[in-house]
Amino acid sequence: MLDGFSAEMLARVQFAFTISFHIIFPAFSIGLASFLAVLNARWIWTRDETFLVLFNYWKKIFAVAFGMGVVSGIVMSYQFGTNWAVFSDKAGPVVGPLMAYEVLSAFFLEAGFLGIMLFGRERVGEGLHMFATGMVAFGTLLSATWILSVNSWMQTPQGHGMNDVGQFIPLDWWLIVFSPSFPFRLVHMVLAAFLTTALVVGAVGALHLLRDRLDMASRRMFSMAMWMLILVTPLQIVAGDFHGINTLEHQPVKVMAMEGHYDSHENGAPLILFGIPNAKEKRIDYSLEIPKLSSLILKHDLNAPLAGLDTVPDDEEPPVAVVFFSFRVMVGLGFAMLGLGLWGIIARFRGRLFAAPMLWRASVVMGPMGFVAVLAGWITTEVGRQPYTVYGLLRTSDSLSPIEAPAVAASLIAFIIVYFFVFGAGTFYILRMMGKSVQTVSAEKMRQEGPLRTASATPATQHAAPKGGR
């Protein structure tokens, strides 16, 4: 089935397959951990039982997603040893410590406080429970910081030297950690995680509103998700613009592929909205363009010149079609999120946020689109870096282990089978939990554990707590 593929191509497919599975879980858990911290803080501050019910509902989903993220992440290090041993040997002195900090962050902060967050409210008191919930959220952000520092160094390497055996060795850790693309990449990824979670929470809330528009918990999470969309999406668009300008400065070839600029433009480059890259003829077929807009976006000047792929040797070009289409999927979904947020704010100010079935249906459809956008953005970043693993310094073809194609093919097939069953089952379980209404979950908890009781609230005070909300 995989005959005709080289070991390098199969290893790249395997890495793309496993990291595509992995990245969707951290993208979800980063945002969901912060959402849980907000819900818990608002429960403590307001004593509105709706926040506590929502916290208990989403913490179980977070636990499953977090577990699958950890398991899928372990596989990544396995591949560094089997398929990419030369890369591990050459870049290990720089990459290894940063990845170790990411693992320490994940296990000491996230996993260490996860148990208290899940089961500790009645045992440690609300103050320490809130601290643990906050540390889980902080741990997810810290893990993302380290892993994006690694990736950013591979995209825009600095602060290193080379030893006698051709290894990258650290000379200045500040320069390595804070490489030129790091702040832009970190902000862009964290905002993407928040948006991904907001879309999922909004979709779940909308789904249950379609079943029961009077359900207070569903109203609360749908409202919070709509606020998140309208506030964060514009920030993400601005952050993406800054990230693009930074990429033009440090990785111009990637931008040429993203924009579909085969030819250089001396007096302003057009923005190609859509087209079909023709790698053989080196042009965009059936292109729909807006004159000079690409120069305006990237250099804030209508007539600014932009170099094209005609200035780059053929063996320095990334796969243009993949980068071109994935970039448009990411940007298109970003504006779709903005449209959904604007729709939500208009409905809110008209007093129809909880009487808008079309908005709810659109929110359900958009629920998984955050994951699609994250994957599209990741593909744009990683494929656009080709043909290098360490940009401009270490080629992908020189990073491969001395391994034969059949061996890589066998492990790839094994990964596909195992992932299908393990992560398919986990994803099905998460979707099943989301399909249950918050009230149903709360009722099941009441039946299993008796009346809901907290350290500082008796059943009588809970019944007296306000249940309304917007």
Q: What does the pLDDT read at residue 149? A: 93
pLDDT band at 458 (very low <50, low <70, confident <90, very high): very low
Which DSSP string corresponds to 352-383?
Answer: -TTS-HHHHHHHHHHTTHHHHHHHHHHHHHHH
At 91-137, the pLDDT tens digits run 999 998 888 888 777 767 777 888 899 888 888 888 999 999 999 99
- The confidence band for 464, taking pLDDT boundaries of 50, 70 and 90, is very low
The average confidence (pLDDT) of the chain is: 87
Would you say residue 444 has pLDDT above 60? no
Quote the CA–CA distance of 365 and 370 in Å, as a whole number.
11
Residue 454 is predicted with a pLDDT of 41
pTM check: above 0.75: yes
Q: From CA 436, how far away is CA 440, in angstroms rounded?
A: 6
Predicted local confidence at residue 445, as pLDDT: 55
Please give the C-alpha separations between residue 209 and each of 196, 221, 359, 411, in angstroms, as whole numbers. 20, 10, 11, 44
3-state secondary structure of 395: strand
- Residue 268: strand, helix, or coil: coil
Considering only residues 324 and 441, tell me which one the structure prediction assigns the higher pLDDT. Answer: 324
What does the pLDDT look like over 166-196, one tens digit per residue?
899 999 999 999 999 999 999 999 999 999 9
Instruction: Give the per-residue pLDDT at 261.
Output: 92
With beta carbons less than 8 A apart as the criterion, state whether 99 and 154 touch. no
107's tokens: 């296990």
Q: 450 versus 114: which is more confidently predicted?
A: 114
**pLDDT for position 465:** 40
β-sheet bridge partners, residue 177: none
Q: What is the pLDDT confidence band of residue 7, given thresholds at 50, 70 and 90?
A: confident
- The confidence score (pLDDT) of residue 448 equals 52
Determine the Cα–Cα distance for residues 333 and 379; give it in Å rounded to an integer: 15
DSSP-derived secondary structure for 332-360:
HHHHHHHHHHHHHHHHHHTT-TTS-HHHH
Query: Over 60: is that where the pLDDT of 455 sits?
Result: no
| Torsion angle (degrees, nearest 10) of CA 184, 189, 190, 191 | 90
Amino acid symbol at 333: L
User: 160 pLDDT band (50/70/90 cuts)?
Assistant: very high
Query: pLDDT at residue 39 above 50?
Result: yes
**What is the structure's pLDDT at 463?**
41
**Nearest-angstrom CA–CA distance, 374 and 379:** 9
- pLDDT of res. 379: 93
